[in-house]
């Protein structure tokens, strides 16, 4: 080979690594998704979230990477998963529930955090205000405590014979304490007497059994620990002839009598994630509130309990199981 041709060849080879590097795809954005319970319990939430991301051009393993972690209803796992997301250098963290958000906030003040559902983000100190959340946190409020009075009213409308309502919830959660307080304050106005139920998941069986002849219905305050045990709660409640009021559709699917809540919060969380991945700061994204409410009724549970759901309620229902 001639000397001139050899030099030309070696000169071109020197550029190979640079050319190869230029052709390599850039790193995909990473979303850290922290589920408070299990994939099966949150399957509808995940599906709604993924669908909205796809509509906005974010496809898992194609234009974005989603790292899922599941706490199985165990709050003590939140910190470890938050630390793992930090090590993975995720671009945004998505979760729901006051306890999960608080733990993630304690782990990072830099990574944007989107909460798909939080009962009272201002009252629990997650954000400075709905309009100006500040910091690295924003998302959607589900007004869980604010709706306690209306849920009791709806329960009484469906089952007029109800006068003594037991509250079932995890009092270790700041949000649940707010919801219980709101329910207790609303009860006298409705002619209802509210009794406090359980304090922790391990007490579920004995607590519900202790309500025999002491309550006419059960108001279930949603949190990860209670969600993990929703099937057992419903079985025990039916055994005690207690109609239940819940916050989410999944509880009615699992045998609860009624739920009144929000179907699209995780879908709308996808909009927040899209904006953040495209450069908008969480502090510039106001916290949003529900715009759609769904009433769910399980007529089979009503039949087992010997109840007849008023026609005016069935007409209003978004879905009847």
Q: Is pLDDT larger for residue 122 or for residue 115?
A: 115
- Identify the pLDDT of residue 14: 42
Q: How confident is the model at residue 64 (pLDDT cuts 50, 70, 90)?
A: very high
b/e string for 128-138 if b means 16 or more Cβ within 10 A?
A: eeeeebeebbb
Q: Under DSSP, is residue 65 helix (H, G, I), strand (E, B) or coil?
A: strand
Classify burial at 78, counting beta carbons within 10 Å of its beta carbon; exposed 0-12, middle 13-18, buried 19 or more. Answer: buried
Residue 206 near residue 212 (C-beta atoms within 8 A): no
Point out the least confidently predicted range of 18-27, 59-68, 129-138, 142-151: 18-27
User: pTM here?
Assistant: 0.75
pLDDT tens for 202-217 read 788 888 888 888 899 9
**Alpha-carbon span 238 to 305, nearest angstrom:** 7
**Alpha-carbon span 131 to 166, nearest angstrom:** 35
- Long-range contacts formed by 208-211: CB under 8 A, 24+ apart: 208/168, 208/233, 208/236, 208/237, 208/240, 208/242, 209/236, 209/240, 211/166, 211/240, 211/242
The arithmetic mean of pLDDT across residues 115-138, rounded, is 90
Would strands 164-168 and 294-297 be described as parallel, antiparallel, or unpaired? unpaired
DSSP output for 122-168: TTTTS-S-SS---TTEEEEE--TTTTHHHHHHHHHHH-TT--EEEEE
Run of H or E residues at 180: helix 174-186
What the chain holds in terms of domains, given with CATH numbers, is 30-142+263-284 (3.40.50.2300), 148-261+294-320 (3.40.50.2300)
Residue 78 near residue 71 (C-beta atoms within 8 A): yes
Instruction: Report the mean per-residue pLDDT for the chain.
Output: 87
Q: How far apart are the first and last CA of the chain?
A: 81
pLDDT tens for 229-268 read 899 999 999 999 999 999 888 899 999 999 998 778 899 9
Nearby residues of 39 by Cβ (< 8 Å), 6 or more positions away: 46, 68, 70
Q: How confident is the model at residue 10 (pLDDT cuts 50, 70, 90)?
A: very low
């Amino acid at each position: 080979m001639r000397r001139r041709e050899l030099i030309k060849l070696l000169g071109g080879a020197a550029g190979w690594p640079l050319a190869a590097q230029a052709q390599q795809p850039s790193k995909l954005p990473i979303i850290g998704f922290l589920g408070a319970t299990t994939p099966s319990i949150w399957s509808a939430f995940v599906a709604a979230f993924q669908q909205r991301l796809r509509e906005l051009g974010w496809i898992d393993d194609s234009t974005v990477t989603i790292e899922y972690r599941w706490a199985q209803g165990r709050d003590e796992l939140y910190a470890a998963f938050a630390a793992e997301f930090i090590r993975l250098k995720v671009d945004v963290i998505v979760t729901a529930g006051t306890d999960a958000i608080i733990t993630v906030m304690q782990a990072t003040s830099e990574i944007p955090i989107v909460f798909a559902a939080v009962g009272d983000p201002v009252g629990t100190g997650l954000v400075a205000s709905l309009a100006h959340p500040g910091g690295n946190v924003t998302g959607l409020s589900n007004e869980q405590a604010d709706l306690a009075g209306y849920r009791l009213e709806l329960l009484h409308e469906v089952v007029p014979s109800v006068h003594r309502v037991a509250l079932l919830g995890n009092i270790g959660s700041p949000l649940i304490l707010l919801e219980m307080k709101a329910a207790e304050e609303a009860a006298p106005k409705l002619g209802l007497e509210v009794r406090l139920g359980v304090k922790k998941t391990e007490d579920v069986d004995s607590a519900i059994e202790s309500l025999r002849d002491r309550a006419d219905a059960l108001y279930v305050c949603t949190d990860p620990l209670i969600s993990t045990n929703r099937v057992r709660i419903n079985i025990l409640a039916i055994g005690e002839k207690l109609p239940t009021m819940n916050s989410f559709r999944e509880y009615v699917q699992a045998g609860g009598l009624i739920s009144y809540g929000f179907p699209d919060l995780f879908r709308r969380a996808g909009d927040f994630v899209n904006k953040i991945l495209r450069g908008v700061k969480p502090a510039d994204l106001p916290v949003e509130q529900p715009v759609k409410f769904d009433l769910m009724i399980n007529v089979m549970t009503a039949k087992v309990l010997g109840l007849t759901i008023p026609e005016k309620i069935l007409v209003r229902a978004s879905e009847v199981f």
